Amino acid sequence: MSPVDTREPRPHTGRRRNEAVRRAILDAALDLLSDADGAPVTVETIARAAGVGKQTLYRWWPSKGAVLLDALTDYAAQELPTPDTGSLRGDLRAFATATFEASQRAPSAPALRTLVTEAARDAHLAQLMRDFTEARRAVLREILRRGHERGELPADRDVDLLVDQFYGFFWYRFLLGHAALDAVTAERITDSLLR
């Protein structure tokens, strides 16, 4: 019988992501976007802030925008969970309020603005942005599906149209900045969707 090897396994040094390094990079990207000094966020500044070489970022992400989107997706999953208040009205209001509040503060606000701008010039990032928005739309779709199941939303209501109405409203106000995205607005869009 051979002796048991009690040595610690060597850390992987190939292409597989080290979760601690990935987390440091995503946190650094969001921290840089949250800084109010207006300095541009680049692959170099993210790498420096995370304490890694920029080749590490390029090994795992094709662009700065892809890093930022990954960071924002991770942030949204943690900070904007699917509400379950027990009622469709409560869930919609909680979802709208959380979405609107997050879009008005760092790191979401600068990250979203940067990503929208860069996605207009980068087809790969534009696809990643569509994936991100689809993930957020799926959360809202789930809220509406539960409302159907509880009989709070008539079966003939078009869920995809309701999702489009919510996000069309959100993106219009977010990008143009012509009117508030606040708790009062969340209440009003909830009333409008449930009419």
**CATH code for position 50:** 1.10.10.60
What pLDDT, on a 0 to 100 scale, did the predictor assign at position 93?
97
Domain that holds residue 119: 66-194
Q: What CATH number is attached to the domain comprising 160? A: 1.10.357.10
Same domain, 26 and 122: no
Number of domain units in the chain: 2
Residue 73 in any domain: the answer is yes
Same domain, 86 and 160: yes
Same domain, 76 and 150: yes
Same domain, 97 and 171: yes
Which ranges of the chain have pLDDT less than 70? 1-17, 36-39
Token pair in block for residue 107? 């790191």
Same domain, 108 and 136: yes
Residue 97 in any domain: the answer is yes
Residue 4 in any domain: the answer is no
What pLDDT, on a 0 to 100 scale, did the predictor assign at position 37?
58
Phi, psi of 86 (to 5 degrees): 100, -10
What pLDDT, on a 0 to 100 scale, did the predictor assign at position 14?
47
What pLDDT, on a 0 to 100 scale, did the predictor assign at position 117?
86
